């Protein structure tokens, strides 16, 4: 049986039209899959539901975690009778929507103080306002020009259900015939998630479009010495469609972090296409097309495959992250690089065969002469470094060590609102609500066990929530079923379980179900002040410690959960996962290289990569960029991307040694012959990654700034460090010239 690459080359040479038709069929299937792609936001992107913490949060959200939609109402005079009558009508309409449990606003307070009816005059309204509790008036009417309504949703409503409800509410507001000067804005966490999903869709389109335009510009400037210079762009577009198709068919969602994968895939994909087209163009100058196809596929196919596999291993290392969006990012990148590799391997030689490819004449071409000068320059630099490797290793190694030391001092940012555009309307509206009503954050304590409504458990809950409110300055309030049992029992807890059951019967069902589920689950909701994630993490740890110290009755567990706990612990997840992913990336690629090459020099590509990973820390520190779920992937991603350049140089070096050249000349020739190709592909990769800088998502933009510099440093590592490493490795091993490769 023929080797796979020989088989591919033979089929392209014998049946190019059939190969092209098969690839078009694959593309059509992928286009169908594109229509199945979905967007994902919310807790599912940050916390794995299969873990104990994720399962607890999911259980809490399904049982007690009712979201609230805020209605921000602005008018010349909120207490105008016509405005209040309009708000009452609108509130009644929204209250009839599916998933809505209750609505509350200043309307409820005024009607409650007036026997259930709205006053007819402004004087009556002002009189009733004076009778209402001052803290409630301040909460609902911070000024005569603004008020806030709260729409409470059922627990466990799906993201799609929330978004449909928001669309219905927005539609009712548009059709509600508001009085002149009255503006009603839908805000809150649910509105934020809906708008973020829309922003992800539009941002992804902008990023992909910008990356493709930058690719066209880069190829036009840097790849002019070959005919059909824009063919790599077509290859990348095909690979991208295949990637989208697989995502849709496999139901892999696109998250805020995942949108950063596509410009990366464009940059890496153009690299593969340029590598194949450069080799094909080189071979077709010296041999017939069928031989050029065979040499390109059989020789470059495995070399680029090894580089692609190493790149994929860097992305595969992300699968150990506890953060789902990082795992999805790694998975999408693996799918993408495989698709782009397959597209480049098949399309370029097939296209060349079908059109009877003829290379550009090199003589008299200014581009060609510039490339030749650059080739010689790279070769001379590599030769000089190969003769004197230690200075380069020492200087660049010291910078890498300094970067590793600095890395520990880089802050970790897990605040979702800093990831998105600061001018996003939902963020602006949400901040208005917070300035008016104070913090909207809560820390739920999920209580589980048989008999959560037993008197001893209720007594513990009462004592614990009283202790936390009294002794913790970050906690402003506490609410649980105990709060309402005391309210319906004259301000004190009942003295027997029978009395507890009697009081529970008198509490309205919707209130009761907000805090207990049967006799096995309950929740305490702690109201909080606004705080940074670092402070929130400390608070969660303190409450967890207090539960251990002031433990609940036997058989009962109490655990902090909720969105604040999730985002606070996200900092720990990022800190742990970035180190684990980087170490695993190194380990996987090292094992891969040893398995493929089976000799000491297999570790050669790892050393420049280690330098580059060290440099990353210095870059992030100097640019003032924090670690986020996306920049946490930088180490393993750098390992994957940079390994391609170093492996390609090592592959060409071994080829030159197999031809009988001595060490320094082999290094010089390998860098000279492949240096231009990896420079062109590296710079086009930089152009692709530069599209990330155009993202409106701060998390993606900052990642783009670091990766653009990192790719540039990866080129430097391959061209400057790799020759020194190859020289030292060969001197250490005393290796003789390798035997010539078989024809």
DSSP lists the bridge partners of residue 333 as none
Fold held by 4-42+223-417+569-733: Multidrug efflux transporter AcrB transmembrane fold (1.20.1640)
**Position with higher pLDDT, 588 vs 732:** 588
Question: Where residue 661 falls among pLDDT bands split at 50, 70, 90?
Answer: confident
Per-residue pLDDT tens over the stretch 204-232: 777 778 777 877 787 777 677 788 888 88
Contact by Cβ (8 Å): 153, 64: no
Question: Does the pLDDT value for residue 600 go beyond 70?
Answer: no
Average pLDDT over residues 734-739: 45
Per-residue pLDDT tens over the stretch 187-205: 877 777 777 777 777 777 7
Among 16-30, 218-232, 266-280, 312-326, the range scoring the smallest mean pLDDT is: 218-232
Question: Does the pLDDT value for residue 363 go beyond 60?
Answer: no
Question: Does the pLDDT value for residue 423 go beyond 60?
Answer: yes
Per-residue pLDDT tens over the stretch 462-474: 999 999 999 988 8
Percent of the chain with pLDDT over 70: 93
Among 14-23, 225-234, 255-264, the range scoring the smallest mean pLDDT is: 255-264
Among 311-315, 366-370, 407-411, 692-696, the range scoring the smallest mean pLDDT is: 366-370
CATH topology identical between 4-42+223-417+569-733 and 67-194: no
Give pLDDT, residue 81. 87
499-531 burial string, b = 16+ CB within 10 Å, else e?
Answer: ebeebbeebeeeebbbbbbeeebbbbbbbbeeb
Question: Does the pLDDT value for residue 534 go beyond 70?
Answer: yes
Per-residue pLDDT tens over the stretch 32-86: 998 888 877 767 777 788 888 888 888 887 777 667 788 888 888 888 888 888 8
Question: Does the pLDDT value for residue 739 go beyond 50?
Answer: no
**Could you tell me the sign of the dihedral formed by the alpha carbons of 709, 715, 721, 722, in that order?**
positive
Question: Where residue 737 falls among pLDDT bands split at 50, 70, 90?
Answer: very low
pTM of the predicted structure, to 2 decimals? 0.75
Question: Does the pLDDT value for residue 735 go beyond 60?
Answer: no
Among 143-157, 236-250, 692-706, 727-741, the range scoring the smallest mean pLDDT is: 727-741
Question: Closest Cα partner for 644 from 329, 330, 274?
Answer: 274
What angle separates helix 698-716 from helix 606-623, to the nearest 10 degrees? 140
Give pLDDT, residue 510. 76
Per-residue pLDDT tens over the stretch 459-518: 999 999 999 999 988 888 888 999 989 988 888 898 898 898 999 988 888 788 888 988
Give pLDDT, residue 27. 92
Contact by Cβ (8 Å): 430, 707: no
Cα 622 to Cα 405: distance, rounded to the nearest angstrom: 13
**Residue ranges of the alpha helices (H) in 146-296?**
159-174, 189-222, 231-249, 261-284, 289-295
Question: Where residue 601 falls among pLDDT bands split at 50, 70, 90?
Answer: low
**Could you tell me the sign of the dihedral formed by the alpha carbons of 398, 399, 400, 404, in that order?**
positive
Question: Does the pLDDT value for residue 722 go beyond 90?
Answer: no
Give pLDDT, residue 571. 81
Give pLDDT, residue 249. 92
Give pLDDT, residue 436. 62
Average pLDDT over residues 254-268: 78
Per-domain boundaries in the chain: 4-42+223-417+569-733, 67-194, 426-568
| The two three-digit tokens of residue 209, written as one number | 């479009």
Give pLDDT, residue 291. 92
Average pLDDT over residues 285-312: 88
Fold held by 67-194: Alpha-Beta Plaits (3.30.70)
Question: Where residue 742 falls among pLDDT bands split at 50, 70, 90?
Answer: very low
Among 547-551, 573-577, 738-742, the range scoring the smallest mean pLDDT is: 738-742
345-379 burial string, b = 16+ CB within 10 Å, else e?
Answer: bbbbbbbbbeeebebbeeeeeebbeebeeebeebb
Contact by Cβ (8 Å): 158, 98: no
Q: How high is the mean pLDDT of the chain?
A: 83
Contact by Cβ (8 Å): 313, 589: yes
Q: What angle do CA 134, 135, 136 make, to 5 degrees?
A: 90
Average pLDDT over residues 674-686: 73
**Position with higher pLDDT, 586 vs 530:** 586
Average pLDDT over residues 10-17: 92
Tally: H helices and E strands in the chain = 28, 9
Question: Does the pLDDT value for residue 688 go beyond 60?
Answer: yes
Question: Does the pLDDT value for residue 597 go beyond 80?
Answer: no
Cα distances from 708 to residues 312, 331, 579, 638, in angstroms, run 19, 21, 21, 11
The percent of the chain in helix, strand and coil, each rounded to the nearest 5, is 70, 10, 25
């Amino acid at each position: 049986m023929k080797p796979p690459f020989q088989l591919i080359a033979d089929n392209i040479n014998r049946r190019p039209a059939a190969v092209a038709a098969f690839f078009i069929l694959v593309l059509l299937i992928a286009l169908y899959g594109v229509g199945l792609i979905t967007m994902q936001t919310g807790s599912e992107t940050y916390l794995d539901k299969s873990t104990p913490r994720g399962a607890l949060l999911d259980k809490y959200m399904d049982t007690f975690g009712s979201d609230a939609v805020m209605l921000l109402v602005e008018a010349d005079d909120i207490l105008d009778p016509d405005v209040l009558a309009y708000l009452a009508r609108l509130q009644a309409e929204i209250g009839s929507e599916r998933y809505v449990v209750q609505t509350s606003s200043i309307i409820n307070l005024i009607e409650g103080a007036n026997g259930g009816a709205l006053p007819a005059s402004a004087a009556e309204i002002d009189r009733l306002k004076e009778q209402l509790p001052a803290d409630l008036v301040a909460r609902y009417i911070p000024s005569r020009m603004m008020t806030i309504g709260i729409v409470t949703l059922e627990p466990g409503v799906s993201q799609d259900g929330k978004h449909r409800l928001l669309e219905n509410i927005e539609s009712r507001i548009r059709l509600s015939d508001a009085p002149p000067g009255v503006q009603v804005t839908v805000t809150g966490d649910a509105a934020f998630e809906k708008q973020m999903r829309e922003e992800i869709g539009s941002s992804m389109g902008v990023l992909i479009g910008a990356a493709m335009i930058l690719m066209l510009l880069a190829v036009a400037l840097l790849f002019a010495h070959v005919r059909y210079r824009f063919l790599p762009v077509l290859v990348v577009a095909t690979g991208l469609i295949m990637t989208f198709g697989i995502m849709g068919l496999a139901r892999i969602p696109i998250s805020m972090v995942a949108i950063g994968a596509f410009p990366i895939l464009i940059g890496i994909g153009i690299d593969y296409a340029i590598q194949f087209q450069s080799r094909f163009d080189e071979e077709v100058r010296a041999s017939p097309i069928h031989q050029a196809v065979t040499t390109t596929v059989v020789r470059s196919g495995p070399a680029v495959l090894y580089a692609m596999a190493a790149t994929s291993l860097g992305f595969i290392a992300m699968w150990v992250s506890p953060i789902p969006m990082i795992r999805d990012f790694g998975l999408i990148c693996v799918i993408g690089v495989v698709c782009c590799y397959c597209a480049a391997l098949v399309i370029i030689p097939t296209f060349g065969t079908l059109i009877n490819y003829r290379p550009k004449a090199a003589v008299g071409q200014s581009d060609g002469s510039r490339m030749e000068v650059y080739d010689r320059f790279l070769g001379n630099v590599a030769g000089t470094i190969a003769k004197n490797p230690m200075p380069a290793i020492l200087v660049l190694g010291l910078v890498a060590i300094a970067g590793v030391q600095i890395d520990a001092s880089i802050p970790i940012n897990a605040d979702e609102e800093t990831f998105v555009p600061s001018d996003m309307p939902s963020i602006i509206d949400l901040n208005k609500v917070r300035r008016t009503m104070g913090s909207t954050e809560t820390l739920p304590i999920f209580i589980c066990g048989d008999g959560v409504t037993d008197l001893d458990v209720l007594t513990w809950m009462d004592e614990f929530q009283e202790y936390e409110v009294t002794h913790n300055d970050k906690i402003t309030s506490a609410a649980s079923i105990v709060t309402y049992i005391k309210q319906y029992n004259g301000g004190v807890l009942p003295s027997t379980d029978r009395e507890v059951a009697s009081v529970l019967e008198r509490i309205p069902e919707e209130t009761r179900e907000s805090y207990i589920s049967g006799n096995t689950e309950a929740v305490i909701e702690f109201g909080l002040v606004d705080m940074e994630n670092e402070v929130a993490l400390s608070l969660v740890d303190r409450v967890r410690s207090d539960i251990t110290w002031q433990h609940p009755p036997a058989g009962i567990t109490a655990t902090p959960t909720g969105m604040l706990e999730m985002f606070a612990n996200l900092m720990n997840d990022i800190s742990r996962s970035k180190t684990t992913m980087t170490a695993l990336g190194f380990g996987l690629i090292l094992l891969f290289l040893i398995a493929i090459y089976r000799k000491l020099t297999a570790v050669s590509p790892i050393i420049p990569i280690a330098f580059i990973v060290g440099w990353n820390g210095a870059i992030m520190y100097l640019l003032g960029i924090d670690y986020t779920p996306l920049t946490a992937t930088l180490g393993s991603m750098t390992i994957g991307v940079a390994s391609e350049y170093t492996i390609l140089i090592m592959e060409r070096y071994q080829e030159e040694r197999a031809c009988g050249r001595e060490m320094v000349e082999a290094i010089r020739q390998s860098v000279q012959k492949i240096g231009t190709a990896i420079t062109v592909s590296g710079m086009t990769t930089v152009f692709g990654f530069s599209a990330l800088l155009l993202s409106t998502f701060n998390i993606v933009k900052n990642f783009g700034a670091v990766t653009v510099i990192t790719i540039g440093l990866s080129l430097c590592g391959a061209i400057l460090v790799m020759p020194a490493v190859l020289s030292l490795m060969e001197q250490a091993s005393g290796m003789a010239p390798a035997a010539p490769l078989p024809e």
